[in-house]
Chains A and B, each alone.
Chain A
């Protein structure tokens, strides 16, 4: 049986510890290995096995006569459990193999769980995410979305020399300011006139000059291509007297 001993040794030699006598000490105090061995060790270290002690480098206690050493030896309460001679790990099954009715019940339970999971995934993915993705795709990619029209109009304004002269480069455009400070929503009104869809848009434009401009535009849907053609685009500036630049007029 492997016993684990905690050997505490305190050695006092004069006032200093002298390590150079450690080999002497080992020879002097080594006992036959069959017996419980006491070894010098640093105060507080636990001795793990008999052979290991001889590898310890630093021994506090040293040899000669005037030294006095006190040993205490204790045995740890919970040493490592012994291994069985056969190297099997045994697992006891908690239940006997299920009978047919139990198997059917388990399968039924699994099926209901599966149905619940599928319903949840269906609602989340198809309805909510699908709806939101549809909205965002329509907004970003369809050519009839207000964001797209805003982008095209802004490009036209940026290329117009009068506006560049009035505002100064670089020109930036934005929509309505929401509570959180984001300015992504572009205010627009869609209406029908003579059976054709029209849209009116308003956004703000700014440059390096300190004046602000409001861009109004009206666009009509082209029935063949499905895209919107601009009817007019003009910019109002907040200077005094009021100044207006007409970017495009296709009425």
Chain B
């Protein structure tokens, strides 16, 4: 499908924020349930209660941090797309770096630089993985070039509106 009814960009922010929250909440839920289980007093009811308490308290916190990261990243990404007018991997890397920098702003400039570097490198890795996946997926269906001979649109460049193709 080449065309969607709407532009992805502003709605992508909500998608990414929600997706990140879900990832953080589920992952945090799993880890915190095990941790709460282990740190509870002996006895199955105590342990289950401790596990549930830990999940209830900690998992939304982790989900919230992930959601902030994802939402801010997507916002900056959409902003860059709007400004530059084209979509390419540079947008993602810059967005990751800026997100890392903004979220470390409380800790001073040096921490911002370090966090920006980490965010940029992480996003570069993710982009590289994405590119590799799409390249492998597309080379699974090898097709020849779309126009084996020169395309018909180029045949008569001097004709005006009388060209009718297919």
Contact = CB atoms under 8 A, between A and B. Distances in A.
Given A177-B8, A200-B145, A242-B165, A132 B128 contact: yes
A63 interface: no
A74 to B, nearest CB: 31
A159 to B, nearest CB: 13
A20 to B, nearest CB: 50
Contacts of B3: 212
A173 B91 CA distance: 14
Given A181-B15, A232-B154, A191 B144 contact: yes
Contact of A132 (B86, B87, B125, B146): B125
Interface string A125-153: 00001011111100110000001001100
B164 interface: yes
B88 A184 contact: yes
Interface in A153-200: 154, 170-178, 180-185, 187, 189, 191, 198, 200
Interface stretch (A1-9, A39-47, A243-251): A243-251
B101 to A, nearest CB: 20
B127 A182 contact: no
B157 interface: yes
A204 interface: yes
Contacts of B151: 216, 234
Contacts of A134: 128
Contact of B12 (A140, A170, A181): A181
Q: How large is the interface on B (under 10, 10 to 19, 20 to 34, 35 or more residues)?
A: 35 or more
Contacts of A241: 161, 164
Contact of A172 (B12, B86, B92, B147): B86
Nearest to B161: A241
A133 B85 contact: no
B143 A234 contact: no
B146 A189 contact: yes
